[in-house]
Structure 1
Amino acid sequence: MDLERQNRPPVDKIWKHGAEVFCANKDDDPERVEFWLENTIRVFDELSCTAEECLKYIISLLRDSSYYWLKMLVSVVPHRKVIWEFFQEEFRKTYICERFMDQKRKEFLDLKQGCLTVTEYEKKFIRLSKYAWEYVSSEAKMCRRLEDRLNKDIRLSMGVLELKEFVYSLIGPIKMRN
């Protein structure tokens, strides 16, 4: 794929849905970079873009060193391998370092309700769960982990409402979002 000659689609429709330009280098805040990628993926999903369209749009969003990074990557990788999933994987490797992912995973593994409200705890649990997918890969595992980390007094005071029903009521919206 020649980035200079790439048949780029009109980008105004992705701007209208909240896509942003990405100018970065390896020293950028990984959380900001991850947010940019997730937001971009969300925009592409909203527009029902094909994988090929996603790749074309992403080229239009990259600037400066990130554009040159992709240009270099495309020059050394066989054309058939340069697909949307490949881009995401390589982008994460380059701009969202492994150490960041490990820190977030540890933060999830150490997460307990503590002084958080149940809602705050749930939000944090949901946000961090993607870093430790093997611990929440099924609804049962997710519920068990969420339940085990709730404050003891909350678990004990839930005699009227079956705890499992309570936990599933928290998890239900998560499943619909994924």
Structure 2
Amino acid sequence: MLRILERVAGLNTGSKGRRSVTERLRSNKAKLFRGVTEVAPNVVGYCVWSTERIVDDLNCTLEHKLKGAVSLLSDEAYQWWLTVKEGTQPDRLSWEFFKSDFQGKYVGACYIDARRCEFLNVTQGDRSVAEYEAKFLRLSHYTRGMVASEYERCVRFEEGLWDNLRVLIAPQREQEFSILVEKAKIAKKVKCAERQNRDREMGKNKRI
């Protein structure tokens, strides 16, 4: 198990570095995937998403992401990957290729289509901006090709925000997603402060 976890990082930096990577992976609960057929599609989808999140936290390259994901496969799932690898040109064996094939094998087209539909209809609703961002990003993993650019992703995120937040942010036409999210969080704080001020003023007027 230790060797498997060390390979996820795709690094060879000595015992101290390997221990720190292993501890990080364990704290993020990286697990082996055996490809058991009765595993629910949402569990498999979460497996792909959580693995990507962990290796992102470790600042891995795309090559290391692929190596890390493959190192978490065992039994039937690992045999599946060997078969795919043998029948694929080496220059096509990328992280994106792996995700696409893995989801096609273990998640299924119907589940992916349902998540894409959910992505197109997701809104902030009763969520905080951070909670909305988390769901938006989780669903976006199933929308390959639907949101072609960073700007289009920003526009889609804006469309799902509360109206009173969107009117403050949309005119700025932000094109960087992380900055857009921070602006939305700031706008939410401003609106909360305004509401609190109004409530205090109303309370004062009632006492007069």
TM-score by length of 1: 0.63
Residues 58-108 of structure 1: CA distance to partner in whole angstroms, max 9, x if unpaired? 554322221232344445x15746734444432221112111111111111
Q: Runs of 5+ in structure 2 lacking a partner?
A: 9-21, 183-208
Q: Which residue of 2 aligns with 1:70?
A: 81
Q: Runs of 5+ in structure 1 lacking a partner?
A: 1-9
Is contact 1:51-1:83 (8 Å) kept?
no
Larger relative contact order (C-alpha < 8 A, sep ≥ 6)?
Answer: 1
Report the 3-state secondary structure (helix = DSSP H, G, I; strand = E; otherwise coil) of the residue aligned with 1:23: coil
Q: Which residue of 2 aligns with 1:35?
A: 46
Answering whether residue 93 of structure 2 is matched by residue 83 of structure 1, we say yes
Match of 2:125 among 85, 100, 114: 114
Separation in 2, partners of 1:149, 1:107: 12
TM-score by length of 2: 0.56
Q: Which residue of 1 aligns with 2:140?
A: 129
1:149 to partner: Cα distance:
2.9
Report the 3-state secondary structure (helix = DSSP H, G, I; strand = E; otherwise coil) of the residue aligned with 2:126: coil
Separation in 2, partners of 1:60, 1:29: 21
> Match for 1:30: what amino acid?
P
Residues 19-64 of structure 1: CA distance to partner in whole angstroms, max 9, x if unpaired? 4211223432223223323333445552646738944x55543222
1:12 to partner: Cα distance:
4.7
Is contact 2:151-2:175 (8 Å) kept?
no
Q: 1:141 to 1:54 in 2, by over 3 A?
A: closer
Report the 3-state secondary structure (helix = DSSP H, G, I; strand = E; otherwise coil) of the residue aligned with 1:114: coil
Is contact 2:70-2:78 (8 Å) kept?
yes
User: Quick one: percent identity of the two aligned structures?
Assistant: 26
Separation in 2, partners of 1:133, 1:66: 23
Structure having the higher Rg: 2
Is contact 1:135-1:141 (8 Å) kept?
no
Q: Which residue of 2 aligns with 1:102?
A: 113
Task: Count the aligned residue pairs.
Answer: 160
